[in-house]
Homo-oligomer: A and B are copies of this chain.
Amino acid sequence: MGFPMAGHLARAGHQVCVYNRTAARAEAWAEEFGHRAARTPREAAQNADIVFACVGNDDDLRGVTLGDDGAFAGMKPGAVFVDHTTASATVARELHARATERSIAFMDAPVSGGQSGAVEGILSIMCGGDAATFEKVEPIMSAYARTATLIGDVGAGQLAKMVNQICVAGILQGLAEGLAFGRAAGLDMHKVLSVISKGAAQSWQMENRGATMLEDNFDFGFAVDWMRKDLGLVMEEARRNGATLPTTALIDQFYGDLQKMGGGRWDTSSLIKRL
């Protein structure tokens, strides 16, 4: 997702220097957009006013920020580090503390909208940090975002993204059970969807995934492996804050079933395949 996001920044007129663990990807980007690629996160972050990261998980994030080659080592005091990774609130708070030691501002800013949202530049961004930092970066992020909202202090962006994933999990499992039931009952499910999508059962998922679920088409979208990672963050955080998540815990297990079925790269709507 970083590839098209950095592309939007370059097209908006910003000076961009990119880093990717796969050097060939960074070089391909640099060639396409006529900007620089760096060999380390530190080099990419040198002299930047704002550094944006979008990696896989907490450990990947520590890998590109901390240590001698990490972005923090190259950043100047007063610069801002914005993390677009969906990661834990804990790592956001940890990196915020490390950034503060170097007079670097930190904002967690997980995104919603997926690969296509990044390509089209219409992501939704949930931010955690202070208002001054948000005001500084919000106009820049508008190059690839439809909306960016400051939810609260550092970590609040990650926690809001977790709320989003909990809601999505419930919707998708309900939709999967509904479609599987209707099919078992012999109904024309396209007809049924066209009716119930107008009322109290309506959801973005029903409108955008109902038809593909019926076609057994899961070769696109947001992968099961990523959802499993996100629900892992959710369950860990819930253990800490005491929230009771009976169906989310169950659906997390169902996603584990899909991984065992070889469906780690299937779209999250593939829950219907285990019914």
Give residues in A with beta carbon < 8 Å to B: 89, 112-114, 124, 126, 146-147, 149, 151-152, 156, 159-160, 162-175, 177-189, 191-192, 194-196, 198-206, 208, 222, 234, 237-238, 241-248, 250-251, 254, 275
Contacts and interface: CB of A to CB of B under 8 A. Distances in A.
A238 to B, nearest CB: 6
A200 B152 contact: no
Contact of A178 (B126, B164, B174): B164
A167 B160 CA distance: 23
A200 B126 CA distance: 14
A134 to B, nearest CB: 13
A275 B199 contact: no
Contact of A112 (B196, B222, B244, B251): B196
A181 B275 contact: no
Contact of A198 (B124, B151, B165, B175): B124
B177 A174 contact: no
Interface centre among A177, A200, A234 (most CB of B within 10 A): A200
Nearest to A202: B204
Contacts of A182: 159-160, 162-163
B200 A164 contact: yes
Nearest to A114: B200
Given A170-B174, A246-B250, 8 more contacts: A152-B187, A160-B191, A163-B201, A166-B177, A167-B196, A180-B245, A181-B237, A185-B241
A205 B171 CA distance: 10
A208 B200 CA distance: 9
A160 B181 CA distance: 10
Given A167-B201, A184-B242, A177 B112 contact: no
B247 A185 contact: no
Contacts of A248: 174, 177
A147 B200 contact: no
A199 to B, nearest CB: 4
A222 to B, nearest CB: 8
Nearest to A151: B191
A257 to B, nearest CB: 11
Of all A-B residue pairs in the complex, the 7 with the closest CB atoms, nearest first, are A170-B174, A203-B203, A167-B201, A166-B178, A184-B241, A184-B243, A181-B243
